[in-house]
Chain A
């Protein structure tokens, strides 16, 4: 299994540009999430999905869109990039059953918005 994959690893955008961060998992996990990690702050949830066709907002959703057309893929779209979106983005998937919950993180995408 490849686990959770993310592309690209690095990206530089100009203010106002749009782009999509890709995330895929091959573990048939129901739950997928997008987080951003900023210096001095904990990981913050952007959007999450509890299954194909179902998405919901997290703590910091503004400026981002997601969709979940398949179990495997969970892309994150930046609609009009702003310097405040400079961050490291992590995608994660998990399987939750009662008190069992194992989190798998992708390698991250480092995004710089100029």
Chain B
């Protein structure tokens, strides 16, 4: 079993829909990252969370440390949000070493 599990693996939505991507992990962590990767593109950091909730534009990330769970929400989705969203955790005591989920592929259609 992977230390970091994401769901769903694939997601198709229509423009304007509210989207939720989930991430569960099985180890103690000091930080959790949400990353975005466009097709054929590089990887961009969206959020780093150690507790609570963060918001940036139409993106919201939450984390529940006790339940070892995080969610990434996209409000009013747009075709340009189509990408792979990756959850990664920094296990406690591992400096900057990250463990990654396999990603959620999101396609937003008109």
Chain A residues proximal to chain B, CB less than 8 Å: 31, 33, 35, 40-45, 48, 50, 58, 90, 92, 94, 96, 99-108
Contact = CB atoms under 8 A, between A and B. Distances in A.
B110 interface: no
A48 B98 CA distance: 10
Given A103-B33, A106-B42, A31 B100 contact: no
> SS class of chain A's interface: helix, strand, loop or mixed?
strand
Contacts of B45: 102-105
Contact of A103 (B30, B98, B99, B101): B98
Interface in B26-48: 30-31, 33, 35, 41-45, 48
A100 B48 contact: yes
B96 interface: yes
List 7 tightest A-B contacts by C-beta distance, closest first. A42-B100, A31-B96, A105-B43, A99-B50, A43-B100, A107-B42, A42-B102
Given A48-B96, A101-B90, A101-B96, A42 B4 contact: yes
A96 B2 CA distance: 25
A101 B31 contact: yes
Nearest to A101: B31
B12 to A, nearest CB: 19
A105 B30 CA distance: 20
A42 B101 contact: yes
B68 interface: no
A77 B102 CA distance: 25
Given A42-B103, A101-B31, A96 B44 contact: no
B58 interface: no
